[in-house]
């Protein structure tokens, strides 16, 4: 459920995109009760069908109703992540609105914090290529209005990831992000909304994908 924001214009909406996995996640909200979210398992068809799904999904709102766009920047699949970020950047440029690029791992952490109502840190790990691990550690801010980064998104060997968990000096809950990540698209737009509330208005050109690894072994 998307968090309500103070001072967000109720005639405006935020659009969230999650394309970092074979699933497509879209959400649109005015942060005041008018929210809808949908997930599609498109697989390899994601790249060819994304734009039509967007056009159909946004109705009855129109592009001019958007206040900002939030997109999952990765880590995740190389092609899907790139398509999502490029789409968000293009829309942001054409509509002249901010584009927030949000960590896939941060969205998983926020989803777990909301679900379990925990004050513990959330360590998120995701399988990467060549036997490595994407990992990060996040904790809710003291006012539950976003996340504090305890360990930034990075790619680790299993050994170095375990060392970071051992040395984090905090009580944490470990979440293994392996499936259903597009369902965290609500958290993508919520975390962006927190930044919007703090006065951030990132230009579309600042939205960059995070791949973590080269897509091929070099």
Provide CATH code, domain 105-176.
3.30.420.200
Span(s) in the chain for CATH 3.30.420.40:
13-103+181-206
Other residues' Cβ atoms within 10 Å of the Cβ of residue 44: 9
Which two three-digit tokens encode residue 180? 């259903």
Whole-structure pTM value: 0.92
Q: What is the pLDDT of residues 79-93, one digit of tens each?
A: 999 999 999 999 999
> CA-CA distance, 104 to 75, in Å (whole number)?
6
Q: Where in the chain is the domain with CATH 3.30.420.200?
A: 105-176
Instruction: Tell me the pLDDT tens digit for each residue of 171-209.
Output: 999 999 988 899 999 999 999 999 999 999 999 999 999
The DSSP line for 88-134 is HHHHHHHHT--EEEE-HHHHHHHHHHHHHT--SEEEEEEE-GGG-EE
- Measured CA to CA in angstroms, residue 46 lies from 92, 195, 207 at distances of 20, 28, 20
pLDDT digits (tens, 9 = 90+) for 141-166: 988 889 999 999 999 999 999 999 99
Residue 50 has pLDDT above 80, yes or no: yes
Question: Which CATH number is associated with domain 13-103+181-206?
Answer: 3.30.420.40
Per-residue pLDDT, 186? 96
- What pLDDT, on the 0 to 100 scale, is given for residue 216? 45
Residue 215, pLDDT > 70, answer no
Q: Are 70 and 16 in contact (CB under 8 A)?
A: yes
């Amino acid at each position: 459920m998307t968090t309500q924001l103070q001072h967000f214009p109720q005639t405006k909406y935020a659009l969230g995109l999650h394309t970092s996995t074979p699933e497509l996640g879209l959400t649109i909200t005015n942060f005041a009760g008018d929210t809808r979210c949908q997930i599609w398992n498109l697989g390899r068809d994601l790249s060819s069908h994304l734009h039509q799904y967007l056009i159909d999904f946004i109705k009855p709102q129109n592009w001019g109703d958007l206040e900002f766009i939030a997109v999952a920047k990765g880590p995740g699949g190389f092609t899907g992540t790139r398509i999502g970020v490029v789409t968000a950047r293009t829309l942001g440029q054409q509509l002249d609105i901010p584009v927030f690029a949000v960590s896939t791992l941060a969205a998983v952490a926020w989803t777990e914090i909301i679900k379990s109502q925990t004050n513990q840190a959330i360590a998120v790990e995701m399988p990467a290529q060549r036997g490595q691990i994407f990992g990060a550690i996040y904790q809710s801010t003291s006012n539950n209005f976003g996340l504090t980064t305890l360990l930034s998104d990075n790619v680790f060997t299993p050994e170095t990831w375990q060392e970071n968990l051992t040395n984090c000096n905090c009580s944490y809950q470990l979440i293994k992000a392996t499936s259903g990540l597009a369902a965290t698209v609500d958290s993508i737009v919520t975390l962006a909304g927190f930044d919007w509330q703090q006065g951030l208005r990132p230009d579309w050109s600042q939205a960059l994908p995070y791949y973590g690894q080269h897509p091929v072994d070099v």
